Amino acid sequence: MFYDLILTFIKFMAVENHIISDDGTFSVDKEYFDEEKNLKPEIDPETGKPYVQGTLFMEGQDPELIQRIQDNPSGVVVIGRSSWNQLGLSTELIDSQDIVTDSKGEIIAPVKVTNLNSQLPELLRILYNDCAVGRIFFQDPELLITDPDEIKKLIGRQILLPKGYQINEDGSVDIDIGHQEIKLDGTIAQNIAINNIIQGGRARIAQIQYPTPLSKERLLHPGGFFVGTIIKISLGEVHALIDTQCILKNNPEETKIQHSSARLLDALRTNGSRQVEIINNGDESVTLLDNLKIKISLYRAAQDTFKIPVSSKTPVSSEIPVSRYTLKHGYHLEDLVEGGNLKNIFNLISQIKNQADDPSNPAKAYGIFINDGKAILIPWSEANATQGLCNELTIQRFNEATKNPLEKEDMSNISREAIQALAKNLKYISGKEGSVFCCHSLPPIKDIGQLIDSGVGTFVFVKSRRPQDPYAEDSRVTQDAPRDFFDPGQVSYLRECTHGSSEYISDKKSDKKKEGNGKKIRFVLFDPETEELRVFYKGLFIRPESIEPFDQVDYWFPFYGSHKENNGSQEALQEKLNLFMKKLKDLFGNKVGIIHGAGPGFMRAVDNAAKENGILRVGINIDLGKVGQEANKDPEAGIGIIYGARLFRQQLIEILGKIVIVDLGGFGTLEEIGITSCSFKLYENALSPIIIIDNNGHWNDVIQQVRKITEKELGSDFVEKLITVCKDYDEALQEIEKFVKNPSQWYQERKIKPEDIEKAREGAKIKASRHGFSQNHFEKPFTPQNK
């Protein structure tokens, strides 16, 4: 039994855009229905494909767009929806002269919708009811960029293109398609109602698609339909329109190989790999690999497109150039929202939760779903029936509230304004990332998977889990803001959702169907007190502004030492570490980062020294409140792990760590030395020094024990050779510099076998790839100019 949903639907004005309309609603003409009101498509005599005709209706459109259409209707192009085109539904304008507009902002255009995909012969049936099939783009000649020199100046600043592109004299650009085909799993498609596939959008379509390498033998036969990828393309304040006619290198005169109607690459929202949908309307089969090109024309985006309220850290304005990093990776939630807006949204959820006098009353807010122009409040009761909730969300597609709409007076004005500000900006986030689910506690794994399948692409939450929640899977979880404590299962699942896995990259069809695999979902941890956002990235929660510097680090140094104050000499230790960090920074520049256990004592001193010298810090702590160890939450990146999962915490440190530095420590540090040594023995990490700072023989017995293990052939002999004892940090720096500037010589001096070095490198590469890292494995010398 499903509880009634408490939903609220909020429709917002779209940001002004002078050359692009909103999605329009399509109604099939009556002549395509029989007497029993069954849809009866006709067959195109030229292509043999089924089609229907009707009208595309848009309301509330920009007056300047209306005026442009009235002045020059021939400049209008109908752009089909990308998700529909991937299945084979293509929408085209019948006659631009028949477009009707009025002063109220209404646009009515006659269009034809064709099913290009023979694998889904009943696809047109979903048009039985009115639905959104496309939008209008106006080809303004004043905004068209025709100067090749201007385009060359924009590349790298406003445009990123794949290798091999060609700029033509008229300003158009030819681009090779990629070496990948996106195939449709017909078996799955037949078992899912086509309405559910369409209504589920990109998330549901992804369930019946899988990537495969494009082979040399692949032919596109007459009437055939092909979905593939072009290599990565990113756009700043520039739109790109794909030409209908594609180009064959071995037959440039061929005009029957055409792109379907999803031809617009939006400014700001286009980043990463872009799919192409191709139909062969000719009489001959054609090869695709290294033969097919698309042509794009570039248009300056209307200036008002970028006048949006955004985070002060990432301004979006036609007066401020888009950074290369943003151009490559696109805008995300944290770029387009002030923390105060999210705080008000969470306050709204709390208000509704507190409205129920009875604590057991199910009418409490579980979260709020927000995307471009819409917001729906989800009650807590539905958290106990997730499958029902997600089916409801999928079927409705967030278009309207059908049960118990929440009245406006139930929402404070400030919360409504906060939701409005966020919803308006989400249109600038590409793909499903622009569909956001805000909730107090991160949902259980099974709920996350269901919500992802229902279209959610970004999760914003305050806590990992609350013990009082029905879904609290681990009673050991404690509350701690802004970084809560996570269990290993949560971390592994989130990492899988955000980065995928090496198995997924291998293009195995079966791997594509693994839950959460390769979905590129975004998880954002929000602290209402400080209004700080942290993004889950490569297994850690990172401040958004630190993501780019994080990726630039090549040399990560884990620091191990006691959580206790160093026998009253903490001040002297701090001075030594400050000087050491300064010298590390001088040597490596922005290529250096440090990792520690985010605890007190030595770990705090390391953190302070790194911060003072501008070195990026990662703190991976564990919930040790029971033994009086308070977590340090200041590092730019980090994560908290639940009590009892210290070995998992150590694994996270080792995934990132490169050159280990050990100071005075106790049992915890002893364990870390042992785990590090064992990981080297198992060839899990690229071989590097284990540097032990010891001027009083504190670790002598440990080192002697390692030698005994080696002498008795109970362990790999190269492990002992990696241990380097230094009397102080100056000596440690000399050893580090000697190693990184000539790793081969360092290995030779210690008589470490080349086969052990290579095995370790291969093992390290496998481990790094599984967790989304592309790291240096000491295969080439470090030189100062590389920093």
Verify that 516 and 570 share a domain, yes or no.
no
Flag whether 326 is in a domain.
no
CATH number at residue 229: 2.70.40.10
Flag whether 6 is in a domain.
no
The whole-angstrom separation of Cα 488 and Cα 151 is 48
Verify that 473 and 572 share a domain, yes or no.
no
Half-sphere exposure of 563 (CA within 13 A, CB side): 17
Verify that 596 and 704 share a domain, yes or no.
yes
* Per-residue pLDDT at 87 exceeds 60: yes
Beta bridge partners of 258: 245, 279
Number of domains composing the chain:
4
* Per-residue pLDDT at 213 exceeds 80: yes
* Per-residue pLDDT at 617 exceeds 90: yes
Q: How far apart are the first and last CA of the chain?
A: 61
Whether the CA torsion 577, 578, 584, 588 is positive or negative: it is: positive
* Per-residue pLDDT at 401 exceeds 90: no
* Per-residue pLDDT at 384 exceeds 50: no
Verify that 155 and 122 share a domain, yes or no.
no
Verify that 511 and 570 share a domain, yes or no.
no
Verify that 515 and 411 share a domain, yes or no.
yes
Structure tokens at 432: 């499903």
Flag whether 674 is in a domain.
yes
Flag whether 399 is in a domain.
yes
Q: Label residue 18 by pLDDT band (50, 70, 90).
A: confident
Q: Which of 88, 110, 138 is the last residue of a domain?
A: 138
443, 456 contact by CB (below 8 A)? no
The whole-angstrom separation of Cα 289 and Cα 503 is 24
Flag whether 10 is in a domain.
no
Mean pLDDT computed over every residue of the chain: 80
Flag whether 310 is in a domain.
no
Q: Label residue 568 by pLDDT band (50, 70, 90).
A: low
The whole-angstrom separation of Cα 642 and Cα 646 is 8
Each as own residue / partner, the long-range contacts of residues 487-493 (CB below 8 Å, 24 or more positions apart, any chain) are 487/641, 487/642, 487/645, 488/641, 488/645, 488/648, 489/445, 490/442, 490/445, 490/464, 491/539, 491/639, 491/641, 491/648, 491/652, 493/445, 493/448
Half-sphere exposure of 62 (CA within 13 A, CB side): 20
Verify that 527 and 555 share a domain, yes or no.
no
Verify that 124 and 152 share a domain, yes or no.
no
CATH number at residue 645: 3.40.50.450
Supply the pLDDT for residue 12.
30
Q: Which of 286, 305, 324 is the last residue of a domain?
A: 305
Verify that 355 and 456 share a domain, yes or no.
yes
How do residues 42-74 score in pLDDT, each as one tens digit?
Answer: 999 999 999 999 999 999 898 999 999 999 999
Q: Which of 490, 513, 536 is the last residue of a domain?
A: 536
Q: Please tell me the pTM assigned to this model.
A: 0.76
Range of the domain at 275: 148-305
Supply the pLDDT for residue 364.
61
Verify that 643 and 781 share a domain, yes or no.
yes
**Within 589-666, where are the H helices?**
602-612, 646-656
* Per-residue pLDDT at 135 exceeds 80: yes
Verify that 773 and 651 share a domain, yes or no.
yes
Verify that 585 and 706 share a domain, yes or no.
yes
Supply the pLDDT for residue 1.
26
Q: Label residue 79 by pLDDT band (50, 70, 90).
A: very high
Flag whether 19 is in a domain.
no
Supply the pLDDT for residue 610.
97
Flag whether 182 is in a domain.
yes
